[in-house]
Amino acid sequence: MKQSEVKGLSVAELQEELGKAKRSYSDLKMAHTISPLENPIQLRALRRTVARIATELTKREQ
């Protein structure tokens, strides 16, 4: 998810997306531990998405 997409979401949508992204990252990380992923760059992309969403939520709290 790009930063421009993140900025267009409401706070409730951001919280929902953050939950989904964290679950997805956790599942993908577990799958990678058991057997290597075909594309391990997915982990980095998801981790950065989680960070983008969390950062935007923090900005909006201020």
**Given this model, what pLDDT does residue 41 score?**
94
Per the confidence metrics, is the pTM higher than 0.85? Answer: yes
CB contact set of 21 (below 8 Å; sequence gap of 6+): 1, 46, 49, 50, 53
pLDDT of 17:
95
| Cα–Cα distance, 6 to 8 (Å, whole number) | 5
Residue 14's domain is classified under what CATH number? 1.10.287
The total number of structural domains in the chain stands at 1
Parent domain of 40: 3-61
> What pLDDT does residue 1 have?
82
What mean pLDDT is predicted for residues 29-40?
Answer: 93
Q: What is the DSSP string of 1-62?
A: --HHHHHTS-HHHHHHHHHHHHHHHHHHHHHHHHS--S-THHHHHHHHHHHHHHHHHHHHH-
